[in-house]
């Protein structure tokens, strides 16, 4: 309990620093939201109307006052319950809270599927690679390791474009009937089953590099553990090598694997920005891209703070799980 309290207290200045840096970088971008929204049409509007529009969005105030106004809405607990706590979107005038909340389910579903795939496949492939190495099958081990390194070296967006190109150019792949764009069939009501089907290919692409990293990491951990006394004793008792790896070695590798899982969640959420944009998934990542090009500062600030909170919570959850796995660890 003390560890959780210390981490929560340490997260407060960290979130404040994240908000300050992100706000400063956003305001350093050229142009303002009115220029982006109106484009060439602002030349036809009177100067008084443009002034009123900027006053409505609070853009006539100094950057410091804009930041303090936003920060007060974020900090005050009573205002956070209000839809207007984080301001309103420059694009359609809706509350930022409402804009972000409607995009969260798609991103969480995409990231959740990718996280399960990356660790389920990564652990399996990592154990197989360690087994091949210990069996002395150097050719198979080298080939598998080279494939994993090649996958880990390939950017997710490049793999996504390859997958789309393959599905578009090869008629035989059309037999798979795998939907690739959007979140549900056009004109149909969104359902959870349809979302899973549409998100399956993006989740595979998103999880590929993470799967390779997990597999290589587990292989290294297993090979480091295999020379220890408890492994030698287990093998001397007549247990098979695969049984020793899965029942003994893997258990002792859980703590670093859990730490990797804690780091993987924010990494996958960050990686979903490009994947959602490529596959037209209406999630938080695509919303961030749209808000960046549209200079939609309130929505961008809300997303940045949400991402920062997720990173802190993921690391905290990993530390708690490590403590549960091994109570001997220090707080």
Q: Are residues 143 and 228 in the same domain?
A: yes
Arithmetic mean of pLDDT, 101-114: 90
How far apart CA 167 and CA 180 sit, in angstroms, is 9
CA neighbor of 330 nearest in space, from 2, 8, 11, 10: 2
Q: Are residues 58 and 124 in the same domain?
A: no
Q: Are residues 129 and 266 in the same domain?
A: yes
Q: Which domain range does residue 121 map to? A: 104-282
Residue 92 has pLDDT above 60, yes or no: yes
Q: Are residues 296 and 204 in the same domain?
A: no
Q: What is the pLDDT of residues 156-169, one digit of tens each?
A: 888 888 888 877 77
What global pTM score does this model have?
Answer: 0.79
Q: Are residues 138 and 92 in the same domain?
A: no
* Lookup: tokens for 52: 């009123």
DSSP state of 245: I
Q: Are residues 210 and 325 in the same domain?
A: no
Q: Are residues 273 and 184 in the same domain?
A: yes
Arithmetic mean of pLDDT, 46-61: 73
CATH number at residue 208: 1.10.3720.10
How far apart CA 118 and CA 214 sit, in angstroms, is 7
Q: Are residues 252 and 308 in the same domain?
A: no
The backbone torsions φ and ψ at residue 88, rounded to the nearest 5 degrees and listed phi first, read: -120, 150
Planar angle of CA 322, 327, 329, nearest 5 degrees: 70
Q: Are residues 258 and 312 in the same domain?
A: no
Residue 319 has pLDDT above 50, yes or no: yes
Residues ≥6 apart with Cβ < 8 Å to 3: 319, 320, 323, 331
Q: What is the pLDDT of residues 258-272, one digit of tens each?
A: 888 888 888 888 888
pLDDT top residue among 21 and 134: 21
| Residue 124 CB neighbours (<10 A) | 14
Most confident of 69-78, 134-143, 146-155, 249-258: 146-155
Q: What is the pLDDT of residues 166-218, one digit of tens each?
A: 777 765 555 456 667 777 766 666 666 767 888 888 999 999 999 999 999 98
The count of domains in the chain is: 2
User: In the chain, what's the furthest Cα-to-Cα distance?
Assistant: 88
| Residue 224 CB neighbours (<10 A) | 13
Q: Are residues 308 and 167 in the same domain?
A: no
**Averaged pLDDT score across all residues of the chain:** 79
Residue 290 has pLDDT above 70, yes or no: yes
Where does the pLDDT of residue 41 fall: very low under 50, low under 70, confident under 90, or very high at 90 and above?
low
How far apart CA 59 and CA 41 sit, in angstroms, is 19
């Amino acid at each position: 309990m003390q560890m959780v309290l210390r981490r929560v207290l340490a997260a407060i200045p960290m979130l404040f620093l994240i908000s300050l840096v992100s706000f400063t970088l956003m305001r350093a971008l050229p142009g303002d939201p009115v220029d982006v929204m109106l484009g060439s049409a602002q030349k036809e509007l009177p100067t008084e109307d443009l002034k009123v529009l900027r006053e409505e969005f609070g853009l006539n105030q100094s950057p410091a006052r804009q930041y303090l106004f936003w920060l007060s809405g974020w900090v005050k607990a009573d205002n956070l319950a209000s839809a207007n706590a984080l301001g309103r979107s420059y694009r359609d005038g809706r509350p930022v809270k409402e804009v972000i909340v409607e995009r969260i389910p798609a991103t969480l579903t995409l990231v959740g599927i990718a996280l399960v795939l990356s660790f389920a496949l990564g652990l399996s492939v990592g154990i197989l690679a360690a087994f091949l190495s210990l069996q002395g099958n150097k050719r198979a081990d080298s080939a598998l390791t080279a494939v994993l390194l090649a996958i880990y070296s390939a950017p997710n967006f490049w793999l996504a474009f390859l997958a789309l190109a393959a599905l578009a150019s090869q008629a035989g792949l059309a037999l798979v009937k795998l939907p690739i764009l959007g979140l549900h069939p056009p004109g149909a009501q969104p359902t959870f089953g349809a979302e899973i089907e549409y998100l399956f290919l993006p989740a595979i692409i998103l999880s590929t590099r993470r799967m390779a990293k997990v597999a290589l990491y587990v292989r290294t951990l297993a090979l480091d553990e295999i020379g220890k006394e408890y492994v030698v004793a287990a093998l001397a008792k007549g247990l098979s090598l695969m049984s020793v790896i899965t029942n003994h070695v893997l258990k002792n590798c859980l703590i670093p694997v859990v730490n990797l899982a804690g780091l993987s969640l924010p990494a996958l959420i960050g990686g979903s920005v490009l994947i959602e944009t490529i596959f037209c998934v209406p999630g938080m990542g695509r919303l961030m891209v749209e808000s960046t090009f549209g200079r939609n500062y309130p929505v961008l600030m809300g997303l940045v703070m949400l991402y920062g909170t997720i990173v802190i919570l993921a690391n905290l959850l990993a530390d708690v799980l490590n403590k549960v796995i091994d109570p001997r660890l220090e707080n």
